[in-house]
Amino acid sequence: METETARACWDELDVGVAYAILRLRGDVFVVEQTCAYPDLDGRDTEPATEHRWVHEAGDRAAVLAYLRVLSDPTALRIGRVATVASARGQGLARVLLDQVVRDHGGARTLVLDAQSHLSDFYARHGFVADGAEFVEDGIPHVPMARPPVRAAG
């Protein structure tokens, strides 16, 4: 299957894409991981929030993987990283994370709260543990950060 990537702020998303993104997040975090939490936290619609996703070629609403990037005062926060069950193991989340690191990793610190079993995945992208492990919604997490990497010159 051929795929493409996309990036938009909330106001640029059409209804079909927004629905597909929210459905993916609900399917993965609420249903599959049985976490009852307020996914609609008010941050999706902030003007600086980036929504990034991989979709089937030619159909932006056929969302296969997703993440969002929030602008916090001291860093950019990556979150809501999810891939549909049928597309896991294809490196789609890696593609999105690579793009975020490429686009923002030289200018700002990137942070995230990784599910602990995925910390090695994030470490391959330059993230390091940045605090003690904690449990959120019954799932162990570890805070991780990737400092800006300035070009030599």
Three-state SS across 38-64?
CCCCCCCCCCCCEEEEEEECCCCCCEE
Among 54-58, 62-66, 81-85, 135-139, which is the least confidently predicted range? Answer: 135-139
What is the C-alpha separation between 148 and 95, in angstroms, rounded? Answer: 19
Residue pointed to by tokens 């991981």: 33
Query: C-alpha distances in angstroms, 63 versus 5, 9, 122, 134?
Result: 9, 16, 22, 30
Whole-number pLDDT of residue 1: 81
pLDDT of 153 over the 80 cut: no
How confident is the model over 127-139, as a mean pLDDT? 92
71-111: per-residue pLDDT in tens? Answer: 999 999 999 999 999 999 999 999 999 999 999 988 899 99
6-53: per-residue pLDDT in tens? Answer: 999 999 999 999 999 999 999 998 888 887 777 889 999 999 999 999
What is the C-alpha separation between 127 and 122, in angstroms, rounded? Answer: 6
Which structure tokens are listed for 124? 């391959």
Q: Structural domain boundaries of the chain? A: 3-146
Which structure tokens are listed for 132? 């003690």
Whole-number pLDDT of residue 30: 84
In this structure, whether the domain defined by 3-146 belongs to CATH 3.40.630.30 is answered with yes
pTM of the model: 0.91
Whole-number pLDDT of residue 89: 92
Looking from the CA of 56 toward its CB, the CA atoms found within 13 Å total: 8
